[in-house]
Amino acid sequence: MVTERATRGGGAAHRLYSVIVFVLLASLDNVAVGLVPPLYGPISGALGVPQRLLGLVTAVSFLVSAAAAVGWAYVGDRTNRKPLLMVGTLIWAAGTGGSALAQQYPAFLGAQLVAAVGLGAVGSVGFSVVTDLISPRRRGLVMSFWGLSQGVGTLAGTLAGGILGATDWRRPFLVLAVVGLVATVAYLFTYDIRRGQSEPELAAALDAGADYDYRISRADLPRILARRTNRWLILQGLTAQAAFGSLVWLPVLFAQRAEAQGYSPATAVVVGSVFATLFQLGGVFSILGGLAGDALQRRTPSGRALVAAVGILAAVPFYLVLFLVPIRIDVPNGGSSGAVIGAVLASVFTDPSVGLSLLTALLALALTSANSPNWFALIADVNPPEHRGTVYSLGNLVNGVGRAAGNGLVGVAFQGLRAAFPPPLNYAVGLAVFQLFFIPTGLMYWLAARTSPGDIETVHDLLHTRADRL
């Protein structure tokens, strides 16, 4: 069986193509997530519902996607993962297309939930596949691209929603549905990756023709939760994603600032999307966070967790400055999307308030971006291959709860703060308060730095034992 699979490709070019496909497609689920928030205003008007109900759609979609991912991942850790990824992609493409056709709020909500079920497969099963493609020494770097692709996907969704949907909110959903169909075709030509093939301990046995045939079972679940590092990696998502989840309101904050300065709603939507996209570009520095994690991990088995802890805690003051310091918006009111975008980009260099805000945002996002690649890599480090998809999905489930809470509760906070802080100040204060959730997140990574060395050593011993049996 192993020999037969090996003849289906797997050369350097084929492996590179497979990595690129999985990384790019991991971004698409985040495009779908980022598509809705910039369009809260137009969609609420078209469907005749308040914006808070659309915030509820986003929050519930996070939860449904995270819950579905557990099922997808468990099946993926037991069976062939490639067909699952293709089916999941088709499901979210169908839900996204259905969102564009919805004429009433219940239909829109239902279509978004269908899309969320499919999206659950992409991250959880795809993560398991990618960890089998990369060696432990380079996990932080490759996982930074994996995480970066998701961040870029969110930015692309924010930008596509604001630009393609400025005059017709249905258009970006239709475009993304077509992209999803193309993505399914791309899956057909990826390399059939063998489970455990990146582990140095298993290399000799697999090269000799053995098959790593260990699969997860329900009896493994207590063992997964018994690993102390797993508990910290899973729980940190509750507070981290409460903060990250609130950031989907960034386009709304800047759109509100634009409207407060006299701009039309259509112009404000474009302004909000472009500013939110610019201010999240610091996520590209996750590559540095991954490299730093790899480098420090080679010196100490606590390295990845320490990098994540320091980055998250150091970012909090920059977030507070970003939200609480006002900026001046100078764009052509009622102008084309291109003219508005050009004016926003020019203001980065001509208006000190915009330039300094962008620098602050880049620093904040650069520091917190150390979280993502090192979280991914730590899950792979402290778990055997047949557990990784499931552990990732359990973490993602908690992430979904935290993100939904952050996304939903911050909307309630905005309303509660409105009496003391008129718009857009209520949005700024609410977002600043929610970034304080990063403090317990950093502390949990510090605790993971204390437990990860022992858990990593346990996995090394287990794989050596299994290699001898194989």
| 264 neighbors 251 (Cβ within 8 angstroms) | no
**Rounded distance, CA 269 to CA 250, Å?**
11
Q: In angstroms, rounded to a whole number, what is the distance separating the alpha carbons of residues 314 and 320?
A: 12
- Average pLDDT score over residue span 447-461: 94
- 48 occurs within a structural domain: yes
C-alpha span between 175 and 161 (Å, rounded): 11
Judge whether 249 lies within some domain: yes
Residue 66 resides in a domain: yes
What share of the chain has pLDDT > 90, as a percent?
28
- 12-16, 156-160, 235-239: range with highest mean pLDDT: 235-239
pLDDT of residue 454: 94
Query: CA torsion 438→136→215→452, rounded to 10°?
Result: -50
| More confidently predicted of 77 and 310 | 310
Q: Is residue 1 part of a domain?
A: no
Query: What is the pLDDT averaged over residues 366-379?
Result: 91
| 52: in domain | yes
| The pLDDT value given to residue 283 | 74
pLDDT at position 3 is 38
**Mapping DSSP to helix (H, G, I), strand (E, B) and coil, where does residue 130 land?**
helix
Structural domains in the chain (count): 1
413: its two tokens: 């906070």
Q: Has residue 319 been placed in a domain? A: yes
* Averaged pLDDT score across all residues of the chain: 86
Residue 208 lies in a domain: no
Residue 230 CB: number of other CB atoms within 10 A? 24
pLDDT at 10: 58
Confidence category of residue 4, pLDDT binned at 50, 70, 90 = very low
Q: Give the structural domain span for 460.
A: 8-201+221-469
Position 7 pLDDT exceeds 70: no
Which amino acid is residue 147, in one-letter code?
G
Distance between terminal CA atoms of the chain? 15
Token readout for 229 is 């590092």
CA distances from 16 to 11, 112, 444, 453 (A): 9, 32, 35, 31
pLDDT tier, 21 (very low <50, low <70, confident <90, very high otherwise): confident
CATH number reported for the structural domain that contains residue 389 in this entry: 1.20.1250.20
Q: Is residue 263 included in any domain, yes or no?
A: yes
Give the mean model confidence (pLDDT) for residues 30-39.
81
Q: What is the DSSP letter of 200?
A: G
pLDDT at 9 over 70: no
Q: In this predicted structure, which of 138-142, 150-154, 377-381 has the lowest mean pLDDT?
A: 150-154
pLDDT in tens, 174-227: 999 998 888 888 888 887 777 888 888 888 888 887 788 888 888 888 999 999
Contact 119, 34 (CB under 8 A): no
